[in-house]
Chains A and B, each alone.
Chain A
Amino acid sequence: METSTPTAAVTSHATSVVVWDVPSAIVAGERFRITVGIKCSDECHLPNTDFGIYDDEGAQVATGTLSDERWPGTTGLYVAEVELDAPAGEGLHIWSVKGPSTALGAGPLTGLGTDSGSDTGIPHAEGSTRFGVRVVSPPECLVRVEAVDQITQTPISGARVVMHPYKAVSDERGVAEVRVAKGAYTLFVSQTGYLTFRLPVEVDADMTARAELSPEPVPERN
């Protein structure tokens, strides 16, 4: 028969880390920005909480501090924008974010939330997540994409142009300019209400592509 272990008087709150807004293609050596969010499982208020960002080797490349504002639409996610230097080597790098970081000298965090009511003085366990940093060589070619409605031949603004990993959005003239490295791509152009346009392209110089998008049929209900 098992004996029960005495429960510790203080247990730490779990935390989760979320990263978004990572650019899909980053030129080697350039700076880029990401957004980091940290959430306490008990929805503690987490202002001025520090976290660290680490490269594929585990070396810390940056630190950040969460803002005082809760991220809109969430119940307890506190965020920070962080500016980072892209690594030199081309390819996909897997970096990570860890926090809240007690090693940075902030000490055990205290929750100030009033809704949980149980967290005063309770430390937060470190959470972490990984994110991909795709480093590309400087793009040599300009691809100009004109997005138009196949039926009306009118420009489609706000169309998303993707030549993985490069992305752009069309302007009010329906034009998007994507700078890409030479190579083979699938050009996608998509917009709500249209079927995604798809065209394999081989890019070895500046070029223009016309994308005629056909409206997505509305399913008939019998």
Chain B
Amino acid sequence: MAKKRDGENERKPQAEKAVSRRDFVKTGAAAGVGAAVLSTSGTALAQVSPVEAIQWHYEADIVVIGGGCTGLPAAIRARDLGASVIVVDQNFDLGGKMLHSGGWVSLGGGDPLQKRDIAGEGDREGFVTAPRLQSVAELSEDPDFLFRDHTDWSVMDAAAQAPYRYNERDLHRAYADNCYATREFLMANYVRFGRITGTHGNGGMSRARRATTFLMEGSTTDIKKGTVSRRDAGVARVSSSHFAPRVMADGAKVASAGARTNGAALSRGLEFSAREKGVRFLLNRHMDEIIREQQFSGRVVGIRASYSPRFDPQTGAQLESLWQNGNVDDRTETIFIRARKAIVIGAGGHGANPQFRSMFYPAWREPAFVSSGWALLGPRGQDASGIIAGMRIGANLAGMQQNLGYDSTFHFPGVLATRDPYTDMLPGHPTFSMRGSTGIALGSDSFQHLIVVNQVGKRFFNELLVTRRQGGAWFPAGPEKGQPKRGLEHVQLDWRNASVENIRATYAEPNSIHAALAMNEGSKAPDFLSGPIWAIFDRAAVERDKWNIDPPFTSPTNGFFFSADTIAELAAKILAGHEFQRVPLTYLADTVARWNTYADKGSDPEFGRGSDAPMYRIEKPPFYAATLYPVWHDSYGGLRINGRAQVIDMQGEPIPGLYAGGEASGGGQQHGLGRALVHGYIAGTNAAAEPTT
């Protein structure tokens, strides 16, 4: 269990602290608290294992670290090419972040899906009957065109970032050349795509390239037939399932009536195929070290991995994967796995590692804030372990500034009362108890009904702007996204895209997240953590804007939602009940009183509220406090890889036998699944062709 920092322990009576700690254990919040601590330490910091002394427990041609959207395609592809494959994953189930994603896969360059939509054709199974959503011109391109789009120096977004300029050229040439084969490969492995609509974050300015994945709602879940039961697909605002941690969306517009879309369709399809093809899985198995012949020379020969089971905090039951075939249930604390040909790192990014991510932004050393899918992935997910293990054997890094070039790398999803605000998981998935609440999802307009305060109870920004973010320079873009031309009118590599005049005319970044993460009176040396952020509102707000503040959207026990008869009581409850509230909210009562005087006057001299939306007093009991947590969603910056997905060392040479992709790799600013899936496909292809040792 994490301890409060900054000497905060001295501030509270011992008995009071003990009660608070017991409550957290009892309610399961401890599971979340542990995340920050485990992910900041522990990984790959032990001594280097001497190769000749190792007793290997398992061996395979290819060892894949991480069963997500890099690892699964890599494993399947290598298996298709005749290699034996073992996948280790620190979690109890497969899919990584892909499982809770929207399932949107942006490829392009004239991929088979673009061609299908151009021809106005449906899919082989007859599920896709919706008309195409983009014009022929918007779908027509070739790999050269895609490559130029992904390396265009001139594009600036509305936050004045250049999302394509710094992409590794060799990597993106290979990406463009492999999109066709990757889309075909996915479709051959139980992945069903709907119509193309738009393009994914930083997936290029000029063409439509993105489609989501679906299954058809049916009486049973049958991956071969392409069906998912209603229970597995989930019921909106009621229940998720083990199959799909987020309720699958309606896919009528992109496929046909009855289609249900999101990352579960992609992830479970790939998982099903991998299991069917004989990939072996060691789940609950965290890679701690990649072993090379010598630390900085020779081939990689295997990995050391430790047992990392997860347990339900309420029942104590060990969590198990949805499907079991292909699983190797080995509970030995430490094992060594030999890779005869190659190792593929698909271990994900660093979004949940406060020490690692603070390289980019010191404010993110705050352990309270987690990466998206924190409950799903557990305390070891997105812990940078793949990157750190590569660094230990001489790997170089790439794209380390690119975390700052995408507007959802870290942001406020606008979801109150949960630690995991990016995902809207409902009860039904085995990890729901880790988070305890789904959260109250609010559009930015609804923020007119509340105020947002920092850990000492002071406002810091216009609440209507707190969750806004700006960026978005990808098809069809346009001036509101930073670019002078929209859609097909965009001109690649045109200096006018980056002119000072254009940037002045289109800059629209509110920068509110930086105000939220700033130091305040409660921040203490040496880390000067900003602390939690609270939305404060009253009963009248709940009634006016019709918020559902009942479980499962909030939890009375997880420490992320409080109600009280008075503001002073509310402040006291937050301090006693929220793990990361290290200081009293000294100013909260004054802040609310002052806010009410502003509401009486209809204007807010501090942060400019009043001209943009009505202001309401916070006055009618009970009063509520709910966390407004930012999330580090996906991460950029990681191991440098070349176009063959080989990890590159400090001398610019490939580390023999070592491959990586997705968020464990750097040099690619493209958001989402497309990048990782292509990396996985390339890595699997080349790893299988390595000599056997």
Contacts and interface: CB of A to CB of B under 8 A. Distances in A.
A73 B602 contact: no
B18 interface: no
Contact of B565 (A16, A162, A198): A16
A160 B620 CA distance: 18
Contacts of B620: 20-21, 35
Interface string B530-547: 000000001110001110
A74 B563 CA distance: 8
Interface string A165-188: 100000000000000000000101
Interface stretch (B109-117, B186-194, B374-382, B610-618): B610-618
B102 A220 contact: yes
A183 to B, nearest CB: 12
A77 B671 contact: no
B276 interface: no
Nearest to A37: B621
Nearest to B568: A16
Interface residues of A, number: 40
A188 B600 contact: no
A165 B566 CA distance: 25
A4 B379 CA distance: 49
Contacts of B545: 192
Contacts of B672: 222
B409 interface: no
Q: Is chain B's interface secondary structure helix, strand, loop, or mixed overall?
A: loop
A165 B602 contact: yes
A143 interface: no
A20 B448 contact: no
A219 interface: yes
Given A219-B413, A221-B102, A73 B622 contact: yes
Most-contacted residue by chain A among B246, B612, B615, B617 (CB, 10 A) = B617
A190 B448 contact: yes
Contacts of B617: 20, 22
A131 B617 CA distance: 10
B610 to A, nearest CB: 8
A203 interface: no
Interface in A1-31: 16, 18-22, 24
Contacts of A138: none
Contact of B621 (A77, A160, A186): A77
A216 B443 CA distance: 7
Interface in B314-356: none
The number of chain B residues touching the other chain, given as a range, is 35 or more
A165 to B, nearest CB: 6
Given A19-B619, A188-B613, A198-B612, A222 B671 contact: yes
B537 to A, nearest CB: 13
A73 B613 contact: no
A18 B566 contact: yes
A134 interface: yes
Contacts of A221: 101-102, 246, 422-424
A33 interface: no
Nearest to B633: A222
Given A18-B565, A18-B566, A192-B546, A134 B600 contact: yes
A92 interface: yes
A150 interface: no
Most-contacted residue by chain B among A18, A220, A222 (CB, 10 A) = A222
B586 to A, nearest CB: 17
Contact of B443 (A16, A18, A162, A219): A219
Given A76-B565, A196-B445, A220-B102, A18 B619 contact: yes
A125 to B, nearest CB: 14
Nearest to A16: B566
B201 interface: yes
Contacts of A39: 565-566, 569
Nearest to B422: A221
B523 interface: no
Contact of B614 (A73, A75, A190): A190
Contacts of B408: 222
B445 A194 contact: yes
Nearest to B201: A222
A75 B565 contact: yes
A18 B621 contact: yes
Nearest to B539: A73
Interface in B358-386: none
Contacts of A194: 445
Interface in A58-92: 71, 73-77, 92
B92 interface: no
B597 A132 contact: yes
A210 interface: no
B124 interface: no
B34 to A, nearest CB: 26
A188 B617 CA distance: 16
B224 interface: no
Nearest to B444: A216
Contacts of B414: 219
B601 interface: yes
Contacts of B538: 20
B621 A74 contact: yes
B49 interface: no
B446 interface: yes
Nearest to A167: B614
A78 B545 CA distance: 26
A196 B611 CA distance: 12
Nearest to A189: B614
Contact of B622 (A74, A165, A217, A222): A74
Nearest to B545: A192
B102 A195 contact: no
B104 interface: yes
Contact of A222 (B102, B448, B569, B596): B102
B544 A160 contact: yes
A16 B565 CA distance: 9
B292 interface: no
A132 B614 contact: no
B390 to A, nearest CB: 26
Contacts of A16: 565-566, 568-569
B416 to A, nearest CB: 14
A108 B634 CA distance: 61
A222 B422 CA distance: 10
A162 B599 CA distance: 12
Contacts of A35: 620
9 contacts: A20-B540, A24-B600, A71-B621, A77-B621, A131-B596, A160-B614, A194-B445, A220-B102, A222-B671
Interface of B: 101-102, 104, 200-201, 246, 408, 413-414, 422-424, 443, 445-446, 448, 538-540, 544-546, 563, 565-566, 568-569, 593, 596-597, 600-602, 610-615, 617, 619-622, 671-672
Given A35-B620, A190-B448, A221-B423, 12 more contacts: A18-B621, A20-B538, A20-B621, A39-B569, A74-B565, A77-B622, A131-B596, A165-B602, A188-B613, A196-B448, A222-B104, A222-B200
Per CB-CB distance, the 10 closest pairs between chain A and chain B, nearest first, are A164-B602, A132-B600, A162-B614, A20-B619, A20-B620, A16-B566, A74-B565, A216-B443, A77-B565, A73-B622
